[in-house]
């Protein structure tokens, strides 16, 4: 959940800048507002503890002025027995620029000011940390998990998103173990070597399945996640129980597309991610998509690092056409789903994939753009549930 706050003139200094104390106060207000909308502002009091700040590091990225509307997102970075670290990001709504990041370390203390174990209710309020697995190739893969049942389903996010885009599906789909991963370099997945190709991401997913001792899984990928799912289908067929391709395509980039990738790589290298992210935000959603979803997506994109985005752009630029993989899907149940208002990978691309994958089911979701699982979570959840109920 993200919180929007407006900067008022009385919070700014004589030069019109948001002053340092007010910056911290806005971050603090965003934290409490988040609790107010969730477990309640008295969540600590009810548990008999208080979160004492032990260290706070603020990283200012850009000036902020009266009237600016800031979107705050919060994530739990680490959790110990008595302490935890929260990372908050503030993104300016008008240009989607990341303006500041605050990392705060808290210790839970009791009324005698002694550190105490973080109570379960507080852990739940802070949100679960992702699980991580060292893949042994320089990549520590982070993922969220929910549910039980075979075959498990692995969800792969698009560019430049992360595992949190699948939150509604992890909450809603029944009867399967559900795993939403952060691809190499994105979200909470740490990597000492950036992906050189889409195949690298697919091999990471296969390595994760081996580490988790999962012999076969349904692979569900959105957009770039779909490119990875197709690479997985080509390279790790023995591990594939079924394939779900959402808002994606099987074709390679054409010359114009490849030039666009190179231009984005150059811009991100020189100026950072804000420009390309803002340009992408313009094209992502259906007309009716609500502000809350748009804000969540903007905050998620602002979290992606330049390194991860540059690596992914190079990998997407060089990926091959994989319609041939779809023609060879005999015996593998395949679902193809697309938002009717998807402008980045329009429905025609999904229809082409459905023609190639004989027997595939094609679902077109009204009122969704490129991020159908976030824009129309109920419709997409029902389509996935129907599909998964038939997969054994
Ligand atoms: C995505 O959502 O993953 C991107 O739109 C994929 C792409 O740029 O080709």
Query: What residues contact 191, with CB distance under 8 A and at least 6 apart?
Result: 138, 139, 140, 184, 185, 308
- Give bridge partners of residue 153 from the DSSP assignment: 178, 218
Cα dihedral value 206, 354, 380, 76, nearest 10: 30
The tokens of 353 are what?
């994939």
User: 198 Cβ partners below 8 Å, 6+ apart?
Assistant: 224, 227, 228, 231, 315, 316, 318, 319
CA of 158 to the centre of ligand 1 (A): 6
pLDDT for position 17? 85
In angstroms, the CA 111 to CA 292 distance is 38
Q: Is ligand 1 within 6 A of the CB of residue 276? A: no
pLDDT of residue 162: 94
Nearest-atom index, ligand 1, CA of 225: 3
Residue 344 in contact with ligand 1 by CB distance below 6 A: yes
Q: Strand (E) positions, 271-351?
A: 334-339
The pTM of this model reads 0.75
Contact 245, 337 (CB under 8 A): yes
Q: Separation of 224 CA from ligand 1 center, angstroms?
A: 5
How close is the Cα of 46 to the center of ligand 1, in Å? 45
- Largest Cα–Cα distance of the chain, in whole Å? 69
Let me know: does 153 contact 218? Beta carbons within 8 Å: yes
Phi, psi of 101 (to 5 degrees): -130, 135
Query: Residue written as tokens 């929910």?
Result: 146
* Residue of 32, 26, 41 whose CA lies nearest to 90: 26
- pLDDT of 129 reads 67
Q: For residue 115, how far is its CA from the centre of ligand 1 (angstroms)?
A: 46
Closest atom of ligand 1 relative to the 248 alpha carbon: 6
DSSP state of 321: P
Can you give the pLDDT at residue 127? Answer: 66
Q: Dihedral angle at the C-alpha atoms of 270, 271, 273, 277, nearest 10 degrees?
A: -120
State the distance from the centre of ligand 1 to the C-alpha of 159, rounded, in angstroms. Answer: 5
224 close to ligand 1 (CB < 6 Angstrom): yes
* Residue 316 beta carbon below 6 angstroms from any ligand 1 atom: yes
Residue 100 CA to ligand 1 center (angstroms) comes to: 26
Q: Which atom of ligand 1 is nearest to the CA of 223?
A: 3
The Å distance, Cα 223 to ligand 1 centre, comes to: 5
Residue of minimum CA distance from atom 9 in ligand 1: 224
Instruction: Point out the ligand 1 atom lying closest to the alpha carbon of residue 226.
Output: 3
The CA distance from 61 to 323, in Å, is 43
Q: Which residue among 279, 284, 312, 345 is best mutated to probe the pocket of ligand 1, counting the most ligand atoms within 8 A of its Cβ?
A: 345
Per-residue pLDDT of the chain (392 residues; tens, 9 = 90+): 678 899 999 988 888 888 888 889 999 999 998 888 777 888 898 889 999 999 999 998 888 999 999 988 888 877 888 999 998 989 888 887 889 999 999 999 999 999 998 887 787 777 666 888 999 999 999 998 888 899 999 999 999 999 989 988 987 899 999 999 999 999 989 888 999 999 999 999 999 999 999 999 999 999 999 999 999 999 999 999 999 999 999 999 999 999 999 999 999 999 999 999 999 999 999 999 998 789 889 988 988 999 999 999 999 999 999 999 999 988 899 999 999 999 999 999 999 999 999 899 999 999 999 999 999 999 999 999 999 999 87
Q: What is the pLDDT of residue 1?
A: 61
Dist. CA 123 → ligand 1 center (Å): 34
Q: CA 50 from chain center: how many Å? A: 31
């Amino acid at each position: 959940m993200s919180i929007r706050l407006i900067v008022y003139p009385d919070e700014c200094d004589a030069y019109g800048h948001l002053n340092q104390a007010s910056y911290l106060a806005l971050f603090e207000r965003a934290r409490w507002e988040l609790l107010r909308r969730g477990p309640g502002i008295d969540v600590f009091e009810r548990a008999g503890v208080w979160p004492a700040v032990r260290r706070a590091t603020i990283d200012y990225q850009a000036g902020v002025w009266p009237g600016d509307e800031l979107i705050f997102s919060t994530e739990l970075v680490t959790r110990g027995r008595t302490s935890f670290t929260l990372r908050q990001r503030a993104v300016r709504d008008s240009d989607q620029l990341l303006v500041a990041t605050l990392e705060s370390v808290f210790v839970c203390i009791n009324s005698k000011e002694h550190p105490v174990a973080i109570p379960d209710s507080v852990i739940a309020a802070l949100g679960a940390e992702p699980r991580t697995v060292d893949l042994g190739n320089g990549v520590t893969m982070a993922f969220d998990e929910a549910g039980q049942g075979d075959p498990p389903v692995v969800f792969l996010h698009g560019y430049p998103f992360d595992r949190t885009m699948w939150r509604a599906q992890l909450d809603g789909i029944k009867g399967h173990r559900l795993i939403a991963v952060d691809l190499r370099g994105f979200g909470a997945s740490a990597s000492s070597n950036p992906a050189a190709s889409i195949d690298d991401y697919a091999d990471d997913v296969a390595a994760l399945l081996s580490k988790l001792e999962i012999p076969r899984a349904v692979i569900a990928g959105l957009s770039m996640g779909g490119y990875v799912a197709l690479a997985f289908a080509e390279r790790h067929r023995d591990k594939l129980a079924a394939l779900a391709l959402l808002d994606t395509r099987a074709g390679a980039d054409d010359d114009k597309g490849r030039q666009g990738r190179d231009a984005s790589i150059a811009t991100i290298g020189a100026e950072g991610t804000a420009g390309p992210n803002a340009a992408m935000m313009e094209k992502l959603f259906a007309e009716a998509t609500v502000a809350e979803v748009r804000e969540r997506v903007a905050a998620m994109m602002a979290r992606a690092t330049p390194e991860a985005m540059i690596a992914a752009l190079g990998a997407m630029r060089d990926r091959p056409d994989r319609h041939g993989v779809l023609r060879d899907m005999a015996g593998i149940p395949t679902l193809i789903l697309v938002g009717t208002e998807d402008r980045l990978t329009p429905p025609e691309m999904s229809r082409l994939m459905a023609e190639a994958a004989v027997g595939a089911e094609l679902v077109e979701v009204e009122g969704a753009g490129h991020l159908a699982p976030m824009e129309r979570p109920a419709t997409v959840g029902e389509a996935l549930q129907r599909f998964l109920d038939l997969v054994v």
